[in-house]
Amino acid sequence: MKKDDIREEDLVEEVKFEIDKNAFSGPFKCHGMRTRLISKKIDVNGNVFPYSAWKCRKCKKEFLDSDQAKKLEAIWTIEKMLKGNILSMKRSINYDGKMFFLRFPKELTKEWKKGQYADIKFIDANKFIVEVKR
């Protein structure tokens, strides 16, 4: 029986399964062989960002594990930001006599809780990404 031939009536019992916590971690298998880790780079407006991927030795297809995918997604976000293709808002920079700060509108902060912190990734002196973490 081919998988295309399976009908809902053919499914007679519930099947439980568990996904291993490392299921989305490399190395992966492709063509019956383990993929190898390779180093890659993306140039974004003259800024070079390194990342890694898993590559099949036979078909040359590349795979990303969950951590690599998060890093690549961050690089793409930076690329969009530098090209001006990202939602943005203009905010005044305040100074309290000791340091500079800015305020976020309540529409963006309604899910924030006390005890969270800001993880700031610097691109250059005037560009950065702020990620609110728990």
Global confidence as pTM = 0.54
Give the pLDDT confidence of 63-90 residue by residue, as tens digits.
999 889 999 998 888 888 777 777 778 8
Residue 8 in any domain: the answer is no
Residue 9 in any domain: the answer is no
Identify the domain containing residue 117 by its residue range.
24-86+95-133
Residue 122 in any domain: the answer is yes
Residue 17 in any domain: the answer is no
Please give the sequence-ordered ranges of beta strands (E in DSSP) within the chain, or none if there are none. Answer: 29-30, 33-34, 36-44, 47-55, 62-63, 93-95, 100-102, 117-124, 127-133
Residue 12 has pLDDT above 60, yes or no: yes
How many distinct structural domains can be found in the chain?
1
